[in-house]
Amino acid sequence: MPISAPGPNRRRTRQHGFSLLEMLVVLAIIGIATATISVQAFPDGDARALRQDARRLAQLFAAAQAEARRDGGPIAWEYDGQGFAFVHEPHNLFLPTGMARQAGPARAERFAGTSPLRPRAWISANAIDVRVEPPSAHLFTAEWASGPAAVELQDGLHAVRIVRSGAGQYRVQP
């Protein structure tokens, strides 16, 4: 039974394929190139976060309008530089003077933590400045035709507008 062992007169066969080191070098080059391209394609994370805030807010405006129509009571949108919340405004009841004094002033209630309209912080790391046109556009009622409105979000360097059409549809404009 012949046994073959590598020796000086035995011919070596050449290996075909790539070594692990060659593959790691290629993957590192691809990773660096991808990171460079993504930084150049999306240079500003703050502008992207502001647009994301605007898209989320446009969806929540539509949800607040639907909730106001379903419930029949007004819903107000409250905001500051750190975040925003939707509050359920009390129904306007006309009570006799004596009963109104006993009941006290009606208070707005914030939505619970599981509701889509719960209080939220801005996604953007910068403080957000909000302008609403007309000023009453932050109130959602049971009316079907609310009229056009605009909400502008600014973080000092970037601005995004949320525009409501007369039909009540919201669009984000860069």
Residue bearing tokens 């000023």: 135
Question: pLDDT tens digits for 32-45?
Answer: 888 777 656 655 67
Kindly state whether residue 111 falls inside one of the protein's structural domains. yes
Give the CATH number, domain containing residue 142: 3.55.40.10
Would you say residue 52 has pLDDT above 60? yes
Distance CA(84)–CA(78), nearest Å, equals: 6
- Please state the domain count of the chain: 1
Of 87, 70, 94, 84, the residue nearest 139 (C-alpha): 87
Kindly state whether residue 123 falls inside one of the protein's structural domains. yes
Kindly state whether residue 13 falls inside one of the protein's structural domains. no
Of 86, 81, 92, the residue nearest 63 (C-alpha): 86
Distance CA(26)–CA(33), nearest Å, equals: 11
**pLDDT, mean over the chain:** 79
Q: What percent of the chain has pLDDT over 90?
A: 14
Of 137, 126, 131, 121, the residue nearest 61 (C-alpha): 137
H helices of the chain, in order, are 20-41, 45-71, 97-103
Kindly state whether residue 6 falls inside one of the protein's structural domains. no
Parent domain of 55? 45-173
Would you say residue 91 has pLDDT above 70? no
Residue 79, beta-bridge partner list: 84
Kindly state whether residue 133 falls inside one of the protein's structural domains. yes
With contact defined as beta carbons under 8 Å apart, do 58 and 168 qualify? no
Kindly state whether residue 56 falls inside one of the protein's structural domains. yes
Kindly state whether residue 102 falls inside one of the protein's structural domains. yes
Kindly state whether residue 153 falls inside one of the protein's structural domains. yes
With contact defined as beta carbons under 8 Å apart, do 163 and 173 qualify? yes
In the sheet with 149-154, reading across from the earlier edge strand, the strands are 129-133, 149-154, 159-164, 170-173
pLDDT, position 97: 52
Question: pLDDT tens digits for 126-163?
Answer: 888 899 988 877 888 887 666 788 999 998 888 999 99
